[in-house]
Homo-oligomer: A and B are copies of this chain.
Amino acid sequence: MHSFRNDYSEECHPLVSEALARCASEQNPGYGEDAHCERARELLREAMTGSLERSGADEGQLERARRAPIAFVPGGTMANLLVISSALRPYECVIAALDGHINVHETGAIEATGHKVITTADADGVLTAEGAEAVLAEHCYGQNHHMVIPRMLYLSFSTEMGMVHSSAQLAALRAFADEHGLLIYIDGARLAAGLASPATDVTLADILGTADAFTFGATKNGALFGEAVVFMNPIPFGNFKAAQKQRGALMAKGFLYGIQFEALFSSSGCEAGIPEAEGAEPLYFSLGRHANAMAVALKEALRRDGFDHLAADGQTNQVFVQVDEPTARLLEERFCCEPFGVTDEGERIMRFVCSWATQPEHIQELNSALKALR
């Protein structure tokens, strides 16, 4: 039976492993200073400028994208702790939604670098300007030296609960940040699924226009591992490469990132045979689109079979159902879906996740099994 536990159960997309195989006999310089990484950075910047051009961005914005430094790190927690600790002075803090990944599921990684995470009351991990404003007000707009001084907004796109911001929400966050001298960091561990969501009008250009730094997450979208950290506003983040080395995040064989991101951004999803691919978009984006489509099919299957109580409705690649305790146990055993807490009413939340690797037959198989259960 296919496991819907998460979006990092398989190694990597076949085009990524083929690329790695092709380069197997190469010798490359270490630490990300190789031609593959350089080419991968160029491909990422091309995807960025392409989106900006389609959105009618001006030359200044294009130039920022063309010059944006890009670093590769092994995983999401590392990206988060590095980006945040690089830009904050010791007494500064980061604002996140209560469910924000950095607040709950990183074993205090941000605090281990010396910084407090303060949280808004925003639901489902969707940080809003209103939520941030309330927290900033509680902290006296940074004027009370007995309290931490807010300096950065952290948000995930898509969020830990599979939700997506709208472009208007992102614009409001940017305006809020500018007004109060805050930086914005967007955790893109599931960026591809977010951008492909029919529930939002956000494009990559909106991400670029909002974030001082953001990530193209690939661990959950086709690569063995790796997140590309893009700095739209590099100055506040200092010498990021030194920071990487210091935190154990400067991979000796950095070229592995380059080869993988090249594969994800040089092939188009169409050529790669992804049915959901649009236009000539790079494989990276098509894989997110595919994962979302599988999640739609999964949701329909669950609904058809009576699991129609959804805990959040994010229209990305994650589906959360509320069930009673015995059903929760049964679903976990049979489909490896993941327990994701308990509602205030005592119902269990179970998470099903689709990915680039999920196929229609896996959904059918699930459907049949669910039928048999009922």
Chain A residues near B (Cβ < 8 Å): 2-3, 5-6, 8-12, 14, 17, 20-21, 23-30, 73-82, 85-86, 89-91, 93, 104-109, 111-117, 145-149, 219-220, 224-225, 238-239, 241-253, 256, 336, 357
Write out the residue numbers on chain B whose beta carbons fall within 8 Å of the beta carbon of A357. 27
CA distance A147 to B104 in the complex (A): 6
A116–B111 CB distance below 8 A: yes
A252–B75 CB distance below 8 A: yes
B242–A105 CB distance below 8 A: no
Taken together, the copies of this chain in the complex come to 4
Given contacts A90-B112, A113-B90, A245-B145, contact A219 B27 (CB under 8 A): no
CA distance A336 to B77 in the complex (A): 34
Chain B nearest CB from A157 CB (Å) reads 18
Write out the residue numbers on chain B whose beta carbons fall within 8 Å of the beta carbon of A74. 74, 248, 251
Write out the residue numbers on chain B whose beta carbons fall within 8 Å of the beta carbon of A85. 90
Write out the residue numbers on chain B whose beta carbons fall within 8 Å of the beta carbon of A336. 27
CA distance A29 to B113 in the complex (A): 29
Write out the residue numbers on chain B whose beta carbons fall within 8 Å of the beta carbon of A86. 89-90
CA distance A105 to B81 in the complex (A): 21
Residue from B89, B248, B256 in contact with A247 in the complex, judged by beta carbons closer than 8 Å: B248
CA distance A85 to B10 in the complex (A): 32
Write out the residue numbers on chain B whose beta carbons fall within 8 Å of the beta carbon of A2. 27
B24–A3 CB distance below 8 A: no
Chain B nearest CB from A227 CB (Å) reads 10
A78–B116 CB distance below 8 A: no
A11–B23 CB distance below 8 A: yes
Write out the residue numbers on chain B whose beta carbons fall within 8 Å of the beta carbon of A30. 5-6, 8-9
- Can you sample 15 A-B contacts with CB below 8 Å? A8-B253, A9-B30, A11-B26, A77-B248, A77-B250, A79-B248, A91-B112, A91-B243, A91-B245, A112-B114, A145-B242, A219-B253, A224-B256, A225-B252, A248-B249
A10–B29 CB distance below 8 A: no
- The residue in A17, A24, A246 that gathers the most chain B C-beta atoms within 10 A of its C-beta is A246
CA distance A256 to B245 in the complex (A): 22
B112–A246 CB distance below 8 A: yes
Write out the residue numbers on chain B whose beta carbons fall within 8 Å of the beta carbon of A246. 90-91, 106-109, 112, 148
Write out the residue numbers on chain B whose beta carbons fall within 8 Å of the beta carbon of A245. 77, 91, 106-107, 109, 145-146
A108–B112 CB distance below 8 A: no
